Structure 1
């Protein structure tokens, strides 16, 4: 019988996140540990986030249900686990998909890094932009560019449109040659507000795309067809599925493996055709971060930046050593990143299987 343990964690954030019931000051989640007969532990993280995914309580119950079904865990050469709860919440599928990859590596007698056939693959990351209050904006941007940051991601839609436009004008005026900008509205704008923004930025060559500009009940498909500004989808994919948007003329699909599962992201990438799939993190610990980064290397085009900087919001990690340079620099899949790490079990709380 394969021994599978389930733990919860709770770690502070450096800055609180906005949540549906008030600020979120701590990151909570679930870790699964599967003991392979070789003696290696295969770890997976389920990192739901209140307001965006199923609750931690729901994911934990689904994990218990899966544990009760597992008599003997196995994974094929592709890392696909049996039994697999295909209808389970996305965060749990993500954890199991991570375990499957590591289990397959154990079965092959190799490391997770070598099983991924990763070599020393690298990606540039996008950096979440915070307007500096006491430093020259141009100097800050040039310093980021010197650290291999190719893309700036700006959260918009949280302030009045006029304030967003003023902030964007200052950013584009200071942007070094070669850097691009992604705007993420998180479904904040009305159609009128979104058109106002698009008219103001449509001639900005450095603009890569605007992500999810419209409130959920607006006609996003019509808007995508009406505007000349590139539009990317994120929440819409999770809500409707790839089949519902496969013929939309969009610039990118933005996906979070931690909320969808690795296998589902891989399938989406196969269906996406020529539309690039941009992988982003979702405040995972170092356990889940590794699975997200591995997925990014598999599905995101090499010339597109990935979004892995949410890791910097964690005040500490439960995996050791910490992820180096996760805030947007050149991210490299070195062997040590995937094979020489441990989990601090003392920082975890075991979940009763009953």
Structure 2
């Protein structure tokens, strides 16, 4: 089946300037930019999104646009999705054909909340590693002291600590309410058991998909998977491998629009993921791209304007 396909672009303001910690450097974004693919399979309409995240994705939005404009109708089909495609482009194509077979569910899954945003969530996430280890210890002690008994903390360090700093952290904190520490170390070879639960994120995306996953990854408590940065099929493969090996799998958004966030909530249910997912980011975007199909916001927001760039097929 060859669908009709339109390519559109959008720009959504963040509710306030957003600061990312990228490799120890701070990057500020005021808007989220991306591309929208509108697929028509007969009378069935499906939207998918191409939204590489600056500082985290290897590809730029302009590179994605040019790649899409260069594709022919055959390369947009489910049977011949090219390995050469950028992950965010591949994701958008895979997600369309996936939804054709598995339509969106109508309910949301439980999400982890960033610190200070929700006192009711069972899992709270905090970013660390942008200050000295001594100050990180003080900050984390304070957060842990204010958690409710039913809550646990997820700490994301974005590869900023040494093994010695991680051990300092482990010795200084009450770790009973730490769910896991995500990508704490600068070097993958430095991981060794020290009693702290560990999660892998960026390191998973760097793996060669044609080679077996190295043993070190199976020592983790959790794998954090970002479909926009890895592609959908690769995400599903890793999620299934995690389940087979008793590893918690967490889908994580990359500040995409409601189009992708609704898909992730549905995908988490398809994959039978029961832990709190990393999908509580829609609150940071001031607009939606399409009317909501799954209720993810406490209050409705305006719809963003989308400009058509081309008709791809």
Q: Determine whether 1:347 maps to 2:299.
A: no
Partner Cα separation in structure 1 for residue 293 and residue 213 of structure 2: 39
What's 1:331 paired with? Answer: none
Q: Partner of 2:4 in structure 1?
A: 3
Indicate the structure whose relative CO is greater, using CA pairs within 8 Å and at least 6 residues apart: 2
C-alpha displacement at 1:91, in angstroms?
A: 0.9
1:310 aligns to 2:281 (yes or no): yes
Give the equivalent residue in structure 2 for 1:226: 193
Q: Which runs of 5+ in 1 are unaligned?
A: 75-80, 106-111, 131-139, 328-342
- Corresponding residue for 1:320? 291
Report the Cα offset of residue 241 of structure 1.
4.5
1:257-272 mapped onto 2 (5 Å cutoff): 257-272=227-242
Give the TM-score normalised by the residue count of structure 1. Answer: 0.76
> Which of 271, 280, 286 pairs up with 2:258?
286
- In the alignment, which residue of structure 2 is the partner of 1:17? 19
- 1:257–1:295 Cα contact (<8 Å) kept: no
Picking from 21, 33, 41, the partner of 2:38 is 33
**310 and 229 in structure 1: CA distance in 2 versus 1, 3 angstrom threshold:** same
Aligned to 2:93: 96
Q: Contact conserved, 1:300 with 1:306, CA < 8 A, in 2?
A: no
**CA distance 1:314–1:190, change in 2 (3 Å):** same
Q: When the two structures are aligned, how many residues end up with a matched partner?
A: 298
Q: Distance in 1 between matches of 2:258 and 2:199?
A: 27
Per the alignment, do residues 326 and 209 of structure 1 end up closer, same or farther by CA in structure 2, a change over 3 Å counting? farther
Equivalent positions of 1:31-180 (< 5 A) are 31-38=36-43, 40-53=44-57, 54-66=59-71, 68-70=72-74, 81-104=78-101, 112-113=103-104, 118=105, 123-130=109-116, 144-145=119-120, 149-180=121-152
Q: 1:187 to 1:95 in 2, by over 3 A?
A: same
Q: Distance in 1 between matches of 2:239 and 2:27?
A: 34
Any residues of structure 2 matched to 1:175-254 within 5 Å, and which?
175-201=147-173, 203-215=174-186, 218=187, 220-223=188-191, 225-241=192-208, 243-248=212-217, 249-254=219-224
Structure 2: stretches of 5+ with no match in the other structure: none
Tell me the TM-score normalized by structure 2: 0.85
Query: What is the CA-CA distance between 1:322 and the residue it aligns to?
Result: 8.2
Shift in alpha-carbon separation, 1:101–1:283, aligned structure 2, 3 A: same
In the alignment, the residues of structure 1 paired with residue 295 and residue 56 of structure 2 have an alpha-carbon distance, to the nearest angstrom, of 27
